[in-house]
Amino acid sequence: MSHMSIPKTYKLFIGGKFPRSESGRVYDVHGPKGVFLANVAQASRKDARDAVVAARSAQSGWAGATAYNRGQVLYRIAEMLDGRTEQFVAEIRSVTGASDKVARAEVHAAVDMWVWYAGWADKYAQIAGNANPVSGPFFNLSVPEPTGVVVSVASQDTAYSLIGLVSAIAPAIVTGNTVVVIANEAAPLAALSFAEVVSTSDVPGGVINILTGSAAEIMPWLASHADVNALDLAAASGLSTVEWEKAAADTLTRIVRPRAAFTSLSVDRIDALVETKTIWHTKSLA
Amino acid sequence: MTFIATERANRLGLSSLDSVVAFVKALPGVDAVGLEARAANLATRSIKNSSKMAALDTIIRLIDLTTLEGADTAGKVRSLVAKAATPDASHPDTPRVAAVCVYPDMVEHAVAALGSRQGDGVTGISVASVATAFPSGRSTLDIKIADTRYAVEKGANEIDMVIDRGAALSGDWETVYSEIRAIREACDRGDGTHAHLKVILETGELATYDAIKRASWLAILAGADFIKTSTGKVQPAATLPTTVLMLEVVRDWFLLTGEKIGVKPAGGIRQSKDAIRYLVAVVETVGEDWLHPHLFRFGASSLLNDVLLQRQKMLTGHYSGPDYVTVD
């Protein structure tokens, strides 16, 4: 008997669950020759609000986990992602029409990127923190702290549907931030399958939240949201971000402006989403 | 057990304890499926933006801001009172809540903190006290009466009593009735007025809609000013079907006698969206008259913050966050 293919329903990923959009809306995703691929949930501002609530409630627990534990969880994501290589290659190819070689290279680069950032989890404080010399019998320590809830826009270039997503998530969560990410609108399939990887990788619900839909529609609400601590627009170079940045400034939200090399492996990406806490502590006289 | 007749029981021609109990036992059963479908249907009502602000303000005016923790202190009660009077300091036009609800030993602190701002829920902020060995109610009648009198003497405007669920579940409605009646008398201040009595049925423990209906009728007959769903200490606490059922009993009583009894869902209502559904249920079951602090209350603590966040969103045009409301 021939096997009948089962088209997958692509839903949002909020708080560790896969809900449909509150609005009930979906949009079509097409392949390179206009062939219909899937209906994908089109997130509304209320979905975005729910995602921020989920990210906020997960944040203290995630930041409170040991750096070692966070690193283990991130490695686990890389393992699960690697194990699903064929699925991601197929999804990337179906949307962009890329060759097997190109698609496979993107998946491998995405796995490598996870491993690279996972390694920083228990090493980052060593390079970003410091024991400051002070004139008195005190320890004076500067330590990096996560900024909090980060809203990140993944690259909207269909050539970066997976690696663009990874580069929007990994640098934020490695230090204990939680993230709400807007996936690639035209090529969202890899992002939604990535959500399945996350949900099977010991990541607490709410640490990573993935929305599909129009960044232009959702971002004004997320940018102005008073409970969002940072806006990562590193990969948003093709979008008009100025109004978002203005809205974010009204609630003192940290902004990472669009930059060219957003997929490069760089500690700068982690630096942009931490704050430095400085602590004074008396030296023991014993 | 001595039967203390009430005006309400007399109205129905019920002149003995036996006849009261026989009356509630003979009440027709509740159509559970119909009730839940009705409640689910009411919950689908869409509230447009133009009505939402009015709904949020109404919710705030109907809240009994509550702290019922073992760790309560006089300081916590004072900050609760401050929040009750000025829920959102960044928007001073925010209405104040109806009442603060505390344990009996905290009544004096609430009264002192309120000062001249104390009132009956409309004229000022009312002080409600739980009593009668809240939340379990497992103590002797003497102690429950003493508990109640203490709270009234210290200045509570309202008493939230719990019924004896053990008695209700074993069919001993006589005890349930007599106890409510005794507590109602303990609410008397001696000058012809009385502290308003809310009777907590603890619907989560009564198990069936039929028992909830019986307990609602019995509480009304025994002299309740309000019937209240839950202590908030038992799951499930307030649910929409349960509240609709209690509203229906109140409506039936109104149609029979013209007298208005209050309803207070308490526990588990944390989001504005849920609270708005309760408002819809009130309007559709008993009418808009009941959206009044003397006839409807929300027993809640975290609900207020969510309403304030929604209110801030309506006023500023952007989503707010927990950093913009007080932590309790």
Closest-CA distance of chain B to residue A149, Å: 11
The DSSP output letter for B19 is H
- Per residue in B278-318, pLDDT tens? 999 999 999 999 999 999 999 999 999 999 999 999 999 99
Q: Which of B319, B320, B324 sits opposite A221 (nearest CB)?
A: B319
Q: Which residues of B touch A56 (CB under 8 A)?
A: 321-322
Phi then psi dihedrals of residue A7, to 5 deg: -65, 135
Distance CA(A138)–CA(A132), nearest Å, equals: 10
The set of catalytic residues of B is 160, 228, 264
Q: State how many domains chain B has.
A: 1
- Per residue in A64-120, pLDDT tens? 999 999 999 999 999 999 999 999 999 999 999 999 999 999 999 999 999 999 999
pLDDT reading at A40 higher than 60: yes
Distance from chain centroid for Cα A31: 25
The verdict on a CB contact (< 8 Å) between A227 and B318 is: no
pLDDT reading at A195 higher than 70: yes
Report the pLDDT averaged over residues B115-125.
96
Q: Which residues of A touch B319 (CB under 8 A)?
A: 49, 52, 221, 224-227
pLDDT reading at A28 higher than 80: yes
- Per residue in A109-159, pLDDT tens? 999 999 999 999 999 999 999 999 999 999 999 999 999 999 999 999 999
- Per residue in A224-247, pLDDT tens? 999 999 999 999 988 999 999 999
Q: Which residues of B touch A52 (CB under 8 A)?
A: 319, 321
* Superfamily for the A26-282 domain: Aldehyde Dehydrogenase; Chain A, domain 1 (3.40.605.10)
Confidence of residue A222 (pLDDT cuts 50, 70, 90): very high
The residue of chain A with its CA nearest to that of B322 is A227
Distance from chain centroid for Cα B320: 29
**Residue ranges with strand state E in A147-262:** 149-153, 178-182, 208-211, 230-232, 254-256
A224 in reach of chain B (CB within 8 A): yes
pLDDT of residue B2: 61
pLDDT of residue B127: 98
The DSSP output letter for A160 is G
Give chain A's mean pLDDT: 94
pLDDT reading at A5 higher than 90: no
The verdict on a CB contact (< 8 Å) between B318 and A52 is: no
pLDDT of residue A181: 98
The residue of chain A with its CA nearest to that of B316 is A224
What lies within 8 Å, CB to CB, of A268 at 6+ separation is none
Report the pLDDT averaged over residues A36-44.
94
Distance CA(B13)–CA(B277), nearest Å, equals: 37
Q: CA dist B218 to B1, B244, B248, B251, Å?
A: 16, 17, 14, 15
Q: At how many degrees (to 10) do helices B17-25 and B209-222 cross?
A: 150
User: Does the CA dihedral A218-A222-A172-A256 come out positive or negative?
Assistant: positive
CATH number, domain containing residue B302 = 3.20.20.70
Q: Which residues of A touch B320 (CB under 8 A)?
A: 226-227
The verdict on a CB contact (< 8 Å) between B318 and A226 is: yes
Q: Which residues of A touch B321 (CB under 8 A)?
A: 52, 56, 225-228
A226 in reach of chain B (CB within 8 A): yes
Q: Which of B317, B319, B324 sits opposite A49 (nearest CB)?
A: B319
Give chain B's mean pLDDT: 95
Phi then psi dihedrals of residue A280, to 5 deg: -100, 140
pLDDT reading at B1 higher than 60: no
Q: Which two tokens stand for residue B6?
A: 């009430």
Distance CA(A131)–CA(A143), nearest Å, equals: 9
What lies within 8 Å, CB to CB, of A178 at 6+ separation is A55, A56, A58, A59, A62, A148, A149, A150, A172, A206, A207, A208, A209
Q: Would strands A36-41 and A26-30 be described as parallel, antiparallel, or unpaired?
A: antiparallel
Q: Has residue B1 been placed in a domain?
A: no
ipTM: 0.85
Burial class (CB in 10 A: 0-12, 13-18, 19+), B102: buried
The verdict on a CB contact (< 8 Å) between A226 and B320 is: yes
A57 in reach of chain B (CB within 8 A): no
A227 in reach of chain B (CB within 8 A): yes
Report the pLDDT averaged over residues B222-251.
96
∠A187-A191-A195 over CA atoms, to 5°?
A: 155
Closest-CA distance of chain B to residue A127, Å: 31
- Per residue in B173-225, pLDDT tens? 999 999 999 999 999 998 999 999 999 999 999 989 999 999 999 999 999 99
A56 in reach of chain B (CB within 8 A): yes
The verdict on a CB contact (< 8 Å) between A227 and B317 is: no
Q: Which of A49, A224, A227 sits opposite B323 (nearest CB)?
A: A227
pLDDT reading at B273 higher than 60: yes
pLDDT of residue A286: 63
The count of CB pairs under 8 A between chains A and B is 28
Q: Has residue B326 been placed in a domain?
A: no
Q: What is the SS3 assignment for B25?
A: helix
- Per residue in B129-139, pLDDT tens? 999 999 999 99
Phi then psi dihedrals of residue A162, to 5 deg: -100, -50
Share of chain A above pLDDT 90, in %: 88
pLDDT of residue B138: 96
pLDDT of residue A91: 94
Q: Has residue B328 been placed in a domain?
A: no
Residue B279's domain comprises 7-318
Q: Would strands A274-282 and A138-146 be described as parallel, antiparallel, or unpaired?
A: antiparallel
- Residue ranges of the domains in chain A? 26-282
A243 in reach of chain B (CB within 8 A): no
Distance CA(B50)–CA(B129), nearest Å, equals: 36
